[in-house]
Structure 1
Amino acid sequence: MGFILRLLVNALALYLLTQVYSGVRFASGADIGSVLLAALVMGIVNALIRPVLLLLSLPINLLTLGLFTLVVNAAVLWIVASVTALNVAGFGAAFIGAIILAVISWVLDGVMGALGLDGARD
């Protein structure tokens, strides 16, 4: 149940990102399946590729006091856009989109926690 709920929250975050920021859009004719597929790919990339990117960029990440993580997040969004119906206007748009997506996900995670849907036990 937690996986499906996390997938739906990520899909909602991606959809809200496309509504808020014009640099990231879904292709015309994209349906709910395309949004769910993009969220699934985002989860897979975050689980498999993002840790490798963070490990490889560790020296520059230390020099920038963690700010290079924003570039890694933009690269993850760029990768997801390259294999799904998500369209990103460029790497700058991916960078801004990744920041907005992080804020949207943070807010949605807070709402899930407030509603008691995050799976935390008392």
Structure 2
Amino acid sequence: MRFVVRVAVNAFAIWIVTLLPALQVRLIPFAPGEWAQVLLTLLLVGLIFALVNTIVGTVVKIVAIPLYILTLGLISLIINGFLLWLTAVITENWDWGLRTGEFWLTVIAALVIGIINAVLGGILRPRREERERR
């Protein structure tokens, strides 16, 4: 259930970021561009982004522990931008998916996605007390 919530929150956050043209992150929906196809595209990109964060992100974050210490955690901005860029690289082989522009704008987009994920994830995840009651 938590992974499904993470995918949905990622899809929503990516959609919000694609509304900001200054960040140069855009979504390529399936033709003819109906809302269901855009929703499906967002959910697939959210799923790929969640998988990249879970698999690749965990390995990169473990390897980069000394850099986290040296930069007081600021390297996480670069790592999150890299993970978003990697998601775009994975999906660029199809006619749909995430397209990114300049790397630093991708880092800013990853920062916005991270903020949205933190806020919505905190609201939508069940509290520890509620999980213990079940």
Equivalent position amino acid for 1:104 in 2: I
Using the alignment, how far apart are the partners of 1:70 and 1:18 within structure 2? 19
Q: Which residue in 2 is equivalent to 1:58?
A: 65
1:28 is displaced (CA, Å) by: 5.5
Structure 2: 5+ residue stretches without partners: 92-96
Count how many residue pairs are aligned between Structure 1 and Structure 2.
117
Change (3 A) 1:3 1:54: closer
Q: TM-score, normalised by structure 2?
A: 0.77
Using the alignment, how far apart are the partners of 1:2 and 1:63 within structure 2? 32
Identity %: 31
Using the alignment, how far apart are the partners of 1:59 and 1:3 within structure 2? 29
Q: Which residue in 1 is equivalent to 2:25?
A: 24
Equivalent position amino acid for 1:6 in 2: R
Using the alignment, how far apart are the partners of 2:117 and 2:73 within structure 1? 19
Using the alignment, how far apart are the partners of 1:35 and 1:99 within structure 2? 18
The structure number with the bigger radius of gyration is 2
Structure 1: 5+ residue stretches without partners: 113-117
Q: TM-score, normalised by structure 1?
A: 0.84
Q: Which residue in 1 is equivalent to 2:112?
A: 100
Three-state SS of the structure 2 residue aligned to 1:86 is strand
Using the alignment, how far apart are the partners of 1:27 and 1:82 within structure 2? 13
Task: Give the root-mean-square deviation of aligned CA atoms.
Answer: 1.8
Runs of 4+ displaced beyond 4 Å: none
1:69 is displaced (CA, Å) by: 1.0
